[in-house]
Every structure is written in structure tokens, then in C-alpha cells.
Chains A and B, each alone.
Chain A
């Protein structure tokens, strides 16, 4: 079955520290992978996407993600977190041409 797992419901980091949010997917074919961010009361904003090619993709706001086929993972990273990064982050897989499956999200808290 197609699925996306974000094992961490909540993560707390100090401002300036590095960040890694985990995402594992289950999908039979080559996946299209996305990370979105949602601030309170807002919609989801696309951070980055992976379709093919270079397995390390750069996104907006200084985020990057690495696709590892052998581990079925697409983890999101940022070298130095800012207080404004506090939000909820969603990993998603494009399962087929028109279907998207979202993870349950990871809520990031940033300590000053």
C-alpha cells in the first residue's frame, strides 16, 4: 500500500541548531516527493520537490532534502534553524499522475 510516514510528531530545537525531519514512504514506482510547511492558520507552502536526477534538492528558506531510494526516505534538513521556522512540516508523495499522499506532519518548535 502507498503510504508516507513521519515518525516524529513533535521536534524541539534551539535557534541556530541544525534540523533534520524524517520522512519514509512506501510506493512501488519512482516517487515524486515533496515537502510542505504550514504556519498556524495558513495553507501549505511548497518547500521543495524531487522528481529525478540529483538526490539532494534545494528548496526555499534554506531547506534541503535528500532522496535515498535504498532507505525509502526523503529527509528534510536545515543547517541553522531560525525562530521563524517554527511551523508544521508535511512530507508528501505523488502516487501516480494525480494522487498525492501526505504524512501526518511534524510540528517544529524553536527555542530562543
Chain B
């Protein structure tokens, strides 16, 4: 079974630009979560989607948004990029059931200059 796939692996953007990251979950997984990972803040939860609906949201500004498609693939968008948005963005999918663990992709490394 293929794992969680994130594209692209690396991105370099300039302040003020916007960016879209993509995530394909494990086949059959309907839940997709996004996390931001930085050396200073660790793993911070952005949001979770399930069956095309945002189910949970972390404490991030409205510049961070996401969506999920009918095939469970998800995209995350960051508008008006700031230097502080430089981070590793991790996507994770999980199966149904409250005890299912998260399965992570290898992340997208975003650098904002």
C-alpha cells in the first residue's frame, strides 16, 4: 500500500507570494491533517479534513487554509507569505475509528525569502 505522498518536496517563495501544497493520503483514508514543524515551535496542528469537511482547526491565521477533494486528496494554501512561514509542512492521514494513528508523509520544505 502506498504511503502518504506530499508534493512538492521543496519550495522557495518570496514574501507576499502564495503557495499551494498537495497531499495524497493512504488509499482508503478519509482523514487528512496538516502540521507545521519548525525548530522553535515543534509540531503545530493546522487543520484536519474528513470527507471534504474541515473537522478541526489549530491556532493559525486565516492566511492558512485548506481543502479536501472527493478522492480525499488535500491541498493547503498559504497566502501573503511571511518569513516566519518557512517550515516543514507535514501531512498525515488516518483510517476511520478514534484510535487510528496518524501516518505521515515526508513533508514539503517551504523556504520564504
Which A residues are closer than 8 A to B by beta carbons? 32, 34, 36, 41-46, 49, 51, 90, 92, 94, 96-100, 102-105
Q: Are A43 and B90 in contact, with the CB atoms below 8 A?
A: yes
| Identity of the chain B residue whose Cβ is nearest the Cβ of A104 in the assembled complex | B42
B56 to chain A, nearest CB (A): 6
CA distance A49 to B100 in the complex (A): 10
By a CB distance below 8 angstroms, the chain A residues around B103 are 46
Q: Are A94 and B98 in contact, with the CB atoms below 8 A?
A: yes
A107 to chain B, nearest CB (A): 11
Q: Are B104 and A98 in contact, with the CB atoms below 8 A?
A: no
Main secondary structure of the interface of B (DSSP, over half): strand
Q: Are B31 and A98 in contact, with the CB atoms below 8 A?
A: yes
Q: Are B98 and A105 in contact, with the CB atoms below 8 A?
A: no
Query: Is B83 on the interface with A (CB-CB < 8 A)?
Result: no
| Identity of the chain A residue whose Cβ is nearest the Cβ of B4 in the assembled complex | A43
A67 to chain B, nearest CB (A): 14
By a CB distance below 8 angstroms, the chain A residues around B64 are none
Which of B6, B101, B105, B109 is the most central at the interface, judged by chain A CB atoms within 10 Å of its CB?
Answer: B101
By a CB distance below 8 angstroms, the chain B residues around A98 are 31, 48, 50, 55-56, 98
Q: Are A99 and B43 in contact, with the CB atoms below 8 A?
A: no
Query: Is B1 on the interface with A (CB-CB < 8 A)?
Result: no
| Identity of the chain A residue whose Cβ is nearest the Cβ of B104 in the assembled complex | A43
